[in-house]
Structure 1
Amino acid sequence: MTFSNRLIQWYLENKRDLPWRNTTNPYQIWLSEIILQQTRVAQGLPYYLRFVENFPTVFDLANASEEQVLKLWQGLGYYSRGRNLHKTAQIIAFECNEMFPKTYTELLKLKGIGTYTAAAIASFSQKEVVPVVDGNVFRVLARYFDVETDISSATAKKEFTALANELIDKKQPDLFNQALMEFGALQCVPKNPICSMCIFNESCAALQKKKVDLLPIKLKKTKVTERYFNYLVFEDESGNLLIQQRTSKGIWHNLYEFPLIESEKELDEEELIEKISTTSFLTNKLVSIKPFDEKSVLHILSHQRLKIRFWGLNVDGKIEKGISKEAVKKFPFPIVIFNFIEKNF
């Protein structure tokens, strides 16, 4: 039995029952693929279901505001995915007459759709013979064939795509691609795979050479930056708060937050007051200031470690453009701020 036949047979016996696998609708397939980028299925599934419920068609998604989309995306991280999702939906709805491009090449022209997503949509919705290569595929192929190419290198994607293209089942490319990714997700996992129960344990090169824990090879290390965020939760006599939108490029673009002072280290109360005096957040007189918690909250992103502290600041009078606590909850926030709001308001 060939590699692809054995793999597909395993998939049909072991696959998870996921809603996007029961359709050839390119909109729903695209939605699932964007949501699941760098996201576990268990985390992404509820988001997928909410998006399909709120935006049943690409036209519904295109007609939504960016704030509505980002609010629904809240907590998934990598918010540029949500913004690109919305922009691409508008292109498909208003420039392509709600018709998804049908080929891999045409799909690549859409914003936010790279080689992986284009291959997934073309393969799963149109049965186009194009391999889908993600982290799971890198791992399975590197181990099975003992490929020592550094997967973070510039040539890796091309090499692994060519290898997957040789293996792909030309009659069932959709099943083959799903099977290869599912095998990496469930069986050939990153750490401590149960090789003794693997269908390929007699033919896997890495297992024979005792290299399973060494493959795939990834030499490039991600540099992690440490940042200190001091969020100023101004509250006036009516209980209204002040929020602002992050318009600068970088993390959390277009999401909302409290006025922010970023510092080079953790600040005490006296140091924070000194920095506030140099800002123009408010003209109201400051009545009191105190931290909500004794320690900062550590929030870890892919390339950054954020040490976040929320400070409560009561002020005299009425805050101009102040918003009630109930109204604040309707805005899209980074999940760490949303969790703070839910806990304290």
Structure 2
Amino acid sequence: MSDQPLLSRLDLNLLVALDALLTERSVTRAAERLHLSQPALSASLARLRTHFNDPILARRGNTYELTPLALRLTDHTTTALEAARRVFESQASWSPRESTREFSIYGSDYGFARVGPLVSRLAAESAPGVRFRFLLHTPAIVEDAVARLRAVDGMIIPHGHLSDLPFADLARDRWVVVASESNEAVADGLTMPMLAEFPWVFTFQTRTAFTSAARQLQQLGIEPRVDAIVESFLALPHFIAGTNRLGMLQSGLAGTVAHMPGIRLLELPFEAIPVVSALWWHPVHTRDPEHVWMRGIFEEAARILAKEPDPFPAVDA
């Protein structure tokens, strides 16, 4: 027989207490959060310390800090608690119009700006009580996507970063170059030598966080000189205005960026691979009727986006 404690012998209320303690890092604040007395939560902490054979909270002067084990437990606890909530909030029959469910979606500001507003409006038409929480991902979250997607409803991210997970394509965009209006050298368009000559602002640059166009530049033999990295597509133009820097954005953001002062948009001097963003989810959600409804909203949004004209049809050449 396994030496691991049987789940039936564990008090799952301890998971709620653990989550509050890890978040608040204080017995007093955690007790207030859970509307419990401090002695009651102290008793839960004592049981947790016995179970893990670890203090969980360690006093440092007048404050408490999480132990190394507690820090490792933080993400696991959030995931487990959210999964437990999903189990007990499930219903035999579900009506979108009567639901008050909150769907959580990871993504970049590009994904949210491109798809999020339309999804939110479409959902409100048939499910006024439902809401969406759009959470900015990080490279660490993308690297741990399989585990993270157990606790949230999906992730909006282009193809090329995830695999072996179910997905639904959402939007297809071209890559365009952002330059400063004051950069007269590119006023008549870009050439391949210019891509190597001018400095760049990248949105992501790690082993797992990158854009397909930046990767393609390197495959073409161009090693961009990167002056700055900003993990926000919508903020990127602010790092370019008034400089000789270049950057790349999806054409779906062109309508927003084109109106920014001091910015011009240009075509790339090579045929860049289009970016195809998709909604990805963990297989545990596939049969969930509420999740099926949510995916239908995203798929409807994708059909609407596919019929829209190119948001950047005329560019400098």
Q: TM bucket by the smaller chain?
A: under 0.3
Q: Tell me the TM-score normalised to structure 1 length.
A: 0.22
TM-score by length of 2: 0.23
